[in-house]
Structure 1
């Protein structure tokens, strides 16, 4: 009989993306499928359009017991208590996994079950620590860092634990952006009861997606409208919901003396366009700024998005263990059926490929015909490129179609010089779609080398077929 031992533990997934939403119920699980008929797709790229289908979804009841169900349909918005439609938040699950090793050396990965612990629960506890460094990334002031500190959830505690964030590193020289008595809600974490089928899990719920401002925001707008500096706030600023009576006390809580709320933004327009700084800071643009430069006074607006670490602690084999995963909080996905040309998965895969250039050959072989796996990977890549292209045009209010695939792609920037190939203006990449300016966009090195490998194998297979046909005719 083969005996197995647990070699290590980890959390799956190691990284998850949560999406804000003020809806009362989390978004149901779904999967993406290719619609070979292209029915209902508004772009002329079918067949190959992406279709959303419901998938098995997990939830928990009031006492933390897990259960599953199959949704009839996927609805990204739902009615709130006030009768208005709101985005349903994406609330990812985190599960404790292990890697087993058999006596013959065979390794396999599986979820941890209550039966793996003598006590049936293993004293499994969870913890979370989140931070919002968006303002700090611009000002480099420690007082503008908003973080929660580590919040621990003891074993068998299934109630939701809120994660408040405030500026814990502020000083007189670097005033705190968010005070401890008026923190910003960054999300919540709730552990489920151990389950024989679903194992040990915890669910992260993101915040609603609120915007906060300095306590003197209203007077700032009034003052800027009346001064002679040439700063003209857009009409939309005056209609911010957080300026309404009854909402100011809740959302106008940021420190006006902090570096984030009191500074100016000055940089070349090219850099602002590439980094998205203009939309990031939310400022009053100076109409008299020099040509080619962006000058603006920050309004001091801050959202509740963050990223951080989720941990799981337990005892096994007489030792204390703690494993971690990361969670990222982002906005709702406004085009869920259209994949971006460069996804987070593409960038992570490229990081692994940059560290080990043999990865591509080991995944798809050194030579031979293209093969089913390689062809499928290329098909998905091309489809994502076209979907990302059209998604960008939809945002820009344009109706442009690529003339051919070659005009849509470009080689990655040179790793040594950083200069792009074929004249792509790498320094002017807009944030909505890398390289989608007047010249073709660039791919990751993994995507481009994968495409080259596929083309070479097609050429080799075509040449071999031509030679075989020539030999057959010669024999005849």
Structure 2
């Protein structure tokens, strides 16, 4: 036996108040010509929990069932949580050296002289959002459970704050923060013909409800009167009163550094970004109310010994909010990050439009159909002016000489060659930051971006668009950040690494350097005005970017070859 591992090694959980976990579903492509190309969802075989005693309590076993339809809320209107399973597998080596993977079951363990009670799980769940700002572990919430695989009880992940003498814990032991629960399952041997091994060791993480928790005084508070992304109310003029936490959830300590926290304190940079993502940040003095939620990160560890050798496996889960649009695929995902890191450089090995590129543009459309581009543009251009210390953000000429534009001229006529259809489709907008909405075009920029990207979901249209003006495509796609080894030693002084487009492309486009201020500003390059989790403008991954640029070069070569006149070569004279 070589070792053990979890499948999957990493999973996303999503909070929800329903007692019914979300069943599985698949994305599929609907190519009905009446509806156009779009992503749909369909039910998939799901693991359903069944109480062994029939009373709805532990222990539970599992069965496979495919729901008739996919619903994201239960009959009471409560959101179903996404609760991932983790399967335990073992790697074995055959006498001929072949490595195989087999599921870990009770029979598997007993055959090797051990048992389920000697298979130990350690689960650690933590919410460290407040700690990441205050830099104090006493403002974290941490839960830890240790149990054997045959302990089928539901284990509640009740978190408290670690602290030392003299520190006030944010989460007290007598009022823990519920971060969800976790459990294992008894084997199901009734349906041995099932393709899914129901006797395999599995563990399931069921996240919290999606509640907010705070100190007793965090009951109701005013919201900011400014639109999303705005700062600095002109005076103590507040927006509508909103409820911050349920009465039963006001259990946190009041006299901790997290209550009253302010990201502006000492005028020093604060981490993480965005710095103002706490309740109270945009109202009045900007002090926080001391609230946290029940999302968390989870580390799952399995330990066992076989024939005197210890084996350890680990997996991770991240519990976040419900998916805003579960039938829409994100343009940028964790999978893309992992592929960008682990897969070899992208290659072109087919004649038609590569599946990856067509799929990317379809995902871009799905993302664009959810974005309020009017708000994103206004937020981004306002942030550019603050970053570059421009006193008058509404001055159409404050970014004169910068291309693409960073101010009111962004995505307008002066932003050519980047801007093309948007100025034509929004003639009345002018060089402004705030959109000039009318009765029939409340979101003028948003409407245009959906129309433009919907066309790119069709392969022939996408191919024609890319071929029509390849150099414009090269300029309008925001370059990703350079690899660390490519960065200039002195940023802003030495030239950054240029993108190699081959013989035909421009030579003045560089990979971005996160240390350079201008690389932190937002413009209309694709994806326009979107924010990366690190607080910088979003781009496609390096692997996606390289593949797209290689495809552009390939299209140009095919086009030039097809339009060149074919010169007939005279046949050689026959020898007499």
TM-score between the two structures when normalised by the length of structure 2? 0.65
Between the aligned partners of 2:571 and 2:563, the Cα distance in structure 1 is: 14
Preserved contact between residue 194 and residue 201 of structure 1 (Cα < 8 Å):
no
Cα-to-partner distance string for 1:348-374 (whole Å, 9 max, x where unaligned): 222335xxxxx125xx4xxx74368x8
Q: Which residue among 294, 303, 324 is the counterpart of 1:304?
A: 294
Alignment match, 1:99: 91
Preserved contact between residue 274 and residue 429 of structure 1 (Cα < 8 Å):
no
Residue 194 of structure 1 and its aligned partner are, at CA, apart by 3.4
More displaced stretch, 420-429 vs 259-268: 420-429
Alignment match, 1:129: 124
Between the aligned partners of 2:188 and 2:165, the Cα distance in structure 1 is: 47
Residue 158 of structure 1 and its aligned partner are, at CA, apart by 1.4
Alignment match, 2:448: 400
More displaced stretch, 22-31 vs 260-269: 260-269
User: Per the alignment, do residues 234 and 421 of structure 1 end up closer, same or farther by CA in structure 2, a change over 3 Å counting?
Assistant: farther
User: Per the alignment, do residues 131 and 434 of structure 1 end up closer, same or farther by CA in structure 2, a change over 3 Å counting?
Assistant: farther
Alignment match, 1:356: none
Cα-to-partner distance string for 1:289-341 (whole Å, 9 max, x where unaligned): xxxxxx51112221111102012223323333221100100000011111222
Relative contact order (C-alpha < 8 Å, sep 6+): which is higher?
Answer: 1
Correspondence 1:19 to 2:3: no
Correspondence 1:168 to 2:265: no
More displaced stretch, 119-128 vs 24-33: 119-128
User: Per the alignment, do residues 177 and 429 of structure 1 end up closer, same or farther by CA in structure 2, a change over 3 Å counting?
Assistant: farther
Cα-to-partner distance string for 1:12-43 (whole Å, 9 max, x where unaligned): 10000000000120011001111122665xxx
Preserved contact between residue 260 and residue 298 of structure 1 (Cα < 8 Å):
yes
Secondary structure, aligned partner of 1:136: helix
Alignment match, 1:360: 345
More displaced stretch, 204-213 vs 408-417: 408-417
Correspondence 1:190 to 2:169: no
What pairs with 1:39-58 in structure 2 (closer than 5 Å)?
A: 46-47=36-37, 49-58=38-47
Whichever of the two has the greater Rg, that structure is 2
Cα-to-partner distance string for 1:375-425 (whole Å, 9 max, x where unaligned): 112222221122112222389563231477738632102342588959996
Alignment match, 1:266: 264
Decide which structure has greater strand share: 1
Question: Unaligned regions of 5+ residues in structure 1, if any?
Answer: 1-5, 41-45, 222-228, 288-294, 354-358
Cα-to-partner distance string for 1:20-68 (whole Å, 9 max, x where unaligned): 000120011001111122665xxxxx32x11101000002212322111
What pairs with 1:209-224 in structure 2 (closer than 5 Å)?
A: 209-218=210-219
Alignment match, 1:412: 480
What pairs with 1:77-476 in structure 2 (closer than 5 Å)?
A: 77-80=73-76, 85-118=77-110, 121-122=115-116, 123-148=118-143, 150-169=144-163, 171-172=165-166, 174-195=167-188, 197-198=197-198, 199-218=200-219, 230-237=235-242, 239-240=243-244, 242=245, 247-248=246-247, 250-266=248-264, 275-278=273-276, 280-283=277-280, 285=282, 296-352=286-342, 359-360=344-345, 364=347, 369-370=349-350, 375-393=354-372, 398-401=446-449, 402=452, 406=473, 409-415=477-483, 416=487, 421=510, 426-428=519-521, 436=529, 441-459=538-556, 470=566
Decide which structure has greater helix share: 1
Preserved contact between residue 370 and residue 458 of structure 1 (Cα < 8 Å):
no
Question: Unaligned regions of 5+ residues in structure 2, if any?
Answer: 52-58, 190-196, 223-233, 376-442, 454-464, 467-472, 497-508
Preserved contact between residue 5 and residue 313 of structure 2 (Cα < 8 Å):
yes
User: Per the alignment, do residues 352 and 164 of structure 1 end up closer, same or farther by CA in structure 2, a change over 3 Å counting?
Assistant: same
Between the aligned partners of 1:474 and 1:236, the Cα distance in structure 2 is: 87
Aligned length: 423
Alignment match, 1:33: 28
RMSD: 3.8
Preserved contact between residue 14 and residue 326 of structure 1 (Cα < 8 Å):
yes
TM-score between the two structures when normalised by the length of structure 1? 0.77
